[in-house]
Structure 1
């Protein structure tokens, strides 16, 4: 990754968004990337706050000042993580729309989620999965931490793949992250046969399930070898029977980062197109990186807004 790359972090003043800032800052320290923190705000048709039993209209300046305080706190939090170049700004508008637009200019976006109204939760609510589905760069969603273990350093990564060409974007990025963090990497493909209500339980009994697993395993090996492109990285490979989202959530309890793609022919890469995306991102106990199709690392124009702020 180029040293001029930018990691964009959405902050809203919550503890969870500060966890996202910490994750992004730790990664920026390793890559030399520039960190840019934003807080969005919007002035409703009329907004009011209780004041001595009555109401006082909140003006735009009050909202701007509140957003700026959020950014200032997040910048201080990032600087406390180490030697990192960090700036920030406040941006009027809808969080998802603002971040999707900015995703064209940055290398990564990081947001926090607390499962109850945080920055990422707003993105996954009324605007559905707008950011993960439409971002032009990878998006990392950092969940609420439920155990004593920190999310960084990243020591174990799992990447879900369905063998499609599009899923190779997630594979390539997972390998890059494994190299960056010096982490163990596992690539997994799911075959949702499962006895009972599995998505492929309709298969006739004459179908050789062992042959099916062998075919998927061969496809997984070919996809991983192609993504490695000669790089000396050990990648564990597993083909499992189960629901893709359920398997990802289960893996998230044992790894530090889950990597998936946004589009594919089903399986892991197709997980993030519908309601299942909210299940994975809402219930994962570790950060999830969502990699858009055909993503390529790119450094922003040195003259772009990030260098001027």
Structure 2
């Protein structure tokens, strides 16, 4: 059996949006769907039952199972469920989430510690159908984790028959003291270097996914700022959990945190090859 798409479900509007996304993804990739609720009492079982019915309405042909976890830690239970999963899907906030809190503590912890890629979905009012013409966007910085994000992004773009916008951000180092300012030729040379890094990160994938339209983009500015600006019209944004210069002990880097907090589309956080330490 293929690995399942797992979704955390508590009946909240955010969880319902996450469930819809997960059910559609399971249908598109021909994978089973597993709903997980963490909590005590009859309410959890009823929430799961309602969720299963919702999932079957969204994706009638998908095999749907559910699991009620009575543990005390919601994030810990979902991380456990991520072992062997294809994707773990969570809402940005669940029941009891404060309106001003852009990302709940559970989704933050899950994005940091999951053993598979995590999709964070934010509830948005209005139609839930996303036009296929909208691009999949991936942040690229040349790191190994970024290359894993590129792998997943190409796969998603191919499945969705969507263009792929590959975004790389760069900044000129600040010259202090009496050092001369950057000359025009130096800036052009640095830009050429950054474009080459992006091209190298995409080269093998463009041959493998010849049908995917690739839109390379190199932007001057902070990585989070550049990636968020490029994803305004995206149907999906893919980032690595941490990139170049990221400290090994930092499970979720500053760029991925900012992107997950502020993106207006679902965000996939891809981890390094080794499982994050819990």
- What range is the shorter-chain TM-score in? 0.7 to 0.9
**What's the CA shift for 1:272?**
7.3
CA distance in structure 2 between the partners assigned to 1:92 and 1:210 by the alignment: 58
Q: How far is 1:151 from its partner?
A: 4.2
Q: Which residue of 2 aligns with 1:187?
A: 166
1:78 aligns with 2:76: no
CA distance in 2, matches of 1:67, 1:255: 34
1:163-174 correspondence to structure 2 within 5 Å: 163-174=142-153
Describe the shift of the 1:283–1:192 C-alpha distance in structure 2 as closer, same or farther (beyond 3 A): same
Tell me whether 1:211 sits opposite 2:189 in the alignment.
yes
Once the two structures are TM-superposed, the CA of residue 22 in structure 1 deviates from its matched residue by 0.6
Please state how far the C-alpha of 1:243 moved relative to its aligned partner: 1.7
What is the match of residue 6 of structure 1?
4
Per the alignment, residue 260 of structure 1 pairs with 239
Within 2, Cα distance between the matches of 1:240 and 1:128? 29
For structure 1, list consecutive stretches of 5 or more residues without a partner in the other structure.
Answer: 42-62, 194-199, 297-309
Whole-Å Cα distance in 1 between the matches of residues 30 and 9 of structure 2?
21
1:222 pairs, out of 177, 185, 200, with 200
Give me the whole-angstrom Cα distance separating, in 1, the residues matched to 2:131 and 2:67. Answer: 25
SS in 1 for 2:41: helix
Contact 1:115-1:282 within 8 A present in 2 as well: no
Task: Please state how far the C-alpha of 1:153 moved relative to its aligned partner.
Answer: 5.3
RMSD between superposed Cα atoms in Å = 3.0
State the secondary structure of the residue aligned to 2:199: helix
Partner of 1:28: 26
Question: What SS does structure 2 have at the residue aligned with 1:80?
Answer: helix
Aligned to 2:67: 89
Instruction: Render the CA deviation track for 1:80-109: whole Å, top value 9, x for unaligned.
Output: 013211010111221211122221221110
Alpha-carbon spacing, 1:125–1:276, altered in 2? closer, same or farther (3 Å): farther
Give the C-alpha shift of residue 173 in structure 1.
0.5
Shift of 1:262: 1.2
How far the C-alpha of 1:176 sits from its partner, in A, is 0.5
Q: 1:149 to 1:209 in 2, by over 3 A?
A: farther
In 2, Cα distance between equivalents of 1:145 and 1:128: 17
Q: What is the aligned counterpart of 1:136 among 104, 115, 123?
A: 115
Q: CA deviation at 1:188?
A: 0.6
Q: Does the 8 Å CA contact 2:37/2:48 hold for their aligned counterparts? A: yes
Report what 1:67 is aligned to.
44
Displacement, 1:162?
0.3
Question: Residues 111 and 142 of structure 1 are in contact (CA less than 8 Å); yes or no, is this contact kept in structure 2?
Answer: yes
In 2 relative to 1, CA 149–13 (structure 1 residues): closer, same or farther, beyond 3 Å?
closer
- 1:24 is displaced (CA, Å) by 0.8
TM-score normalised by length of structure 1: 0.76
Aligned with residue 288 of structure 1, among 249, 267, 277: 267
Match for residue 220 of structure 2? 241
